[in-house]
Amino acid sequence: MLFLSLVLAAQVWPGQTSDYHGFVRHDFTVNGLPALVVEPKQAAKGNPWVWRMEFFDHRPEFDLAMLGRGYFLAYINVGNTFGCPSACDNLGQFYRELTGKYQFKPKAILEGLSRGGLYAYQFAARNPDKVAVLYGDAPVCDFKTWPYGARGGQRSDDDWKKLIDDYGFPDEKAALEFPFNPIDNLAPLAKAKIPIIHIVGDADEAVPMPENTGIVEKRYKALGGTMEVIHKPGGKHHPHGLDDPTPLVQFVQKHEDDTRRSPAAPLIPAPSTESRYNLAGWQGLSWLEQHRQAEQFAREEKAEVILLGDSITQNFGDGHRHISAGQSAAWKQYLAPLHAANMGIAGDRVQNVAWRIQEGALKGLDPKFVVLHIGTNNLADDKPEDIAKGIQSVLGQIKKEAPRAKIILMGLFGTGGEPTTPRRMAAQQVNALIGKFADGKRVHFLNLESHFIKADGTLDYNLISSDTIHPVAGGYELWGKALTEAIRKAR
């Protein structure tokens, strides 16, 4: 580890170099966005880091104290985007840059000041295995209080309108009905054993403490989570921070290893915070509405074959939920005669399917077959072995919830334009691992990856789209035919 720290210290950083309170600051760009890293004078073992989510250099007492203890300080400006899904995508790319190229510690200390709380909590809910500690300073934990202005919160018309646009909500009603604000989505963090500390003013006029931190504390502790709240009696929203950050530093030092043995993200059931609505075949519905609609259709049709997965599955259609007539035609020919129901939702990861099963996706159903194709959306953020473990856990859930069903476990389809594309290589590693889960009795493995790849190693674009991920009509024709045959053999 000392060797790695020395290598990092000698790393030639891109961009401009300047002074930051006596430390060296490096400014560069990631995915076209302004980013920066401040180096400690001597990096601590493992290259730990504090990740400021918003308002860089405002009340930096804690940041400076951690720099003095050998922690790096990092920030990327994703704009005033309230922790929306696209912001989390950019945060994820920054995380991969720092932990990959620059060998930062895999778990960061997230620092969410004010609206930065939305960024910290939404990133942590999507990536609970990438967080060591979450520190919130008067954090927004429910955007219905700020910027909407409900339950004593301060109204900000411009921010509220922008939040609706940034999240992709079709209207204000959808935003107000969003069920996965930080106060509503703490279970993944608790499962990962993320320790949380907040500093709050008890008389905060903008982000009311009882409706934000108060709710988080009550719910998080009920989930078994570790949380400490430092109160400022009579304190308003400003000033932030502590003149003496010692209590914060001590909390981090005491708890930053609490997550050392926590499960990987694909093993932690979690709802999706995506809000695509009129994109990706969501038909104007929220993710939770899609989940419930798919359940309803499956029950109404007494489905004998159920498909679980992401957009690759959803695009197959089923007469109710589809994107294009080409895919729907393949469904009608191959799957409709089997009394199949499509439970794919665009954007889903392994942990989202796990959550849906946990919340009753298969309850009251008695399918003969469950077809599972999931993991493609995990490839960017998760290790192949963790994706495989997550899939194995989902198989266990299916066996429990559908005890009479046989499972057709799909290998991830050919992806990535070239043989050496990291995405392609990761998918192949996943397939090599999950193929071992087949027992020829309950679980049958169907790997069509090679069918989507030409002899020269490039993708066959007669079967898969130019995005190198989603099948086109020919690909669904291939899948439908192969799946029908696999089901016939497994009966």
From 263, 294, 321, the end of a domain falls on 263
Q: What is the spatial distance between Cα 7 and Cα 46, in angstroms, rounded to a whole number? A: 11
Peptide bond between residue 471 and the one before it cis (omega within 30 degrees of 0): no
Q: What is the spatial distance between Cα 282 and Cα 370, in angstroms, rounded to a whole number? A: 22
307 and 237, same structural domain?
Answer: no
Q: What is the token pair recorded at 85?
A: 């899904």
Is 290 part of any domain? Answer: yes
- Write out pLDDT tens, residues 363-411: 999 999 999 999 999 999 999 999 999 999 999 999 999 999 999 999 9
Residues 10-40 as b or e (16 or more Cβ within 10 Å = b): eeebeeeeeebeebebbbbebeeeebbbbbb
Is pLDDT at 327 greater than 80 in this prediction?
no
Using alpha carbons only, give the angle 203, 53, 128 rounded to the nearest 5 degrees.
Answer: 100
Q: What is the spatial distance between Cα 28 and Cα 164, in angstroms, rounded to a whole number? A: 30
248 and 306, same structural domain?
Answer: no
What percent of the chain has a predicted confidence (pLDDT) above 90? 90
54 and 20, same structural domain?
Answer: yes
Is 270 part of any domain? Answer: no
Which residues, 6+ apart, have CB-to-CB distance to 243 below 8 Å? 61
Q: Do the Cβ atoms of 391 and 437 come closer than 8 Å?
A: yes
Split at pLDDT 50, 70, 90, the class of 325 is very low
312 and 214, same structural domain?
Answer: no
306 and 213, same structural domain?
Answer: no
pLDDT at 175: 96
Is pLDDT at 104 greater than 70 in this prediction?
yes
- Write out pLDDT tens, residues 150-201: 999 999 999 999 999 999 999 999 999 999 999 999 999 999 999 999 999 9
Is 422 part of any domain? Answer: yes
| Residue 368 structural domain | 283-490
Burial class (CB in 10 A: 0-12, 13-18, 19+), 216: buried
**CATH number (domain holding residue 346):** 3.40.50.1110
Total Cβ atoms within 10 A of residue 454: 13
Split at pLDDT 50, 70, 90, the class of 322 is low
**CATH number (domain holding residue 166):** 3.40.50.1820
Is 232 part of any domain? Answer: yes
- The more confidently predicted of residues 144 and 320 is 144
Q: What is the DSSP string of 292-316?
A: HHHHHHHHHTT-SEEEEESHHHHTT
Q: Do the Cβ atoms of 61 and 248 come closer than 8 Å?
A: no
372 and 291, same structural domain?
Answer: yes
pLDDT at 276: 82
133 and 21, same structural domain?
Answer: yes
From 263, 292, 312, the end of a domain falls on 263
Q: Do the Cβ atoms of 314 and 274 come closer than 8 Å?
A: no
How many domains is the chain partitioned into structurally?
2
Q: What is the spatial distance between Cα 110 and Cα 137, in angstroms, rounded to a whole number? A: 11
3-state secondary structure of 433: helix
Sheet holding 33-39, edge to edge: 16-20, 23-30, 33-39, 72-76, 49-52, 108-113, 131-137, 196-201, 227-232
295 and 228, same structural domain?
Answer: no
123 and 248, same structural domain?
Answer: yes
Is pLDDT at 428 greater than 90 in this prediction?
yes
pLDDT at 274: 87
Is pLDDT at 7 greater than 90 in this prediction?
no
pLDDT at 259: 97
3-state secondary structure of 17: strand
Is 278 part of any domain? Answer: no
3-state secondary structure of 236: coil
Is pLDDT at 8 greater than 90 in this prediction?
no
Q: Do the Cβ atoms of 290 and 318 come closer than 8 Å?
A: no
Split at pLDDT 50, 70, 90, the class of 3 is very low
Is 275 part of any domain? Answer: no
Q: Do the Cβ atoms of 38 and 72 come closer than 8 Å?
A: yes
- Write out pLDDT tens, residues 265-304: 999 999 999 888 777 667 788 999 999 989 999 999 899 9
140 and 15, same structural domain?
Answer: yes
- The more confidently predicted of residues 419 and 1 is 419
pLDDT at 343: 95
Q: Do the Cβ atoms of 66 and 109 come closer than 8 Å?
A: yes
Q: What is the token pair recorded at 286?
A: 């929220």
Which residues, 6+ apart, have CB-to-CB distance to 100 below 8 Å? none
- DSSP, res 101: I
Burial class (CB in 10 A: 0-12, 13-18, 19+), 240: middle
Which residues, 6+ apart, have CB-to-CB distance to 6 below 8 Å? none
Is pLDDT at 56 greater than 80 in this prediction?
yes
Which residues, 6+ apart, have CB-to-CB distance to 3 below 8 Å? none
Is 54 part of any domain? Answer: yes
Is pLDDT at 115 greater than 50 in this prediction?
yes
- Write out pLDDT tens, residues 198-254: 999 999 999 999 999 999 999 999 999 999 999 999 999 999 999 999 999 999 999
pLDDT at 321: 63
- DSSP, res 334: I
Is 201 part of any domain? Answer: yes
Of the candidates 339, 331, 334, the one whose C-alpha atom is nearest the C-alpha of residue 297 is: 339
Q: What is the spatial distance between Cα 246 and Cα 226, in angstroms, rounded to a whole number? A: 19
Summarize the confidence of residues 73-81 as an average pLDDT: 98
69 and 217, same structural domain?
Answer: yes
Of the candidates 341, 349, 348, 338, the one whose C-alpha atom is nearest the C-alpha of residue 321 is: 341
Q: Do the Cβ atoms of 66 and 73 come closer than 8 Å?
A: yes
37 and 7, same structural domain?
Answer: yes
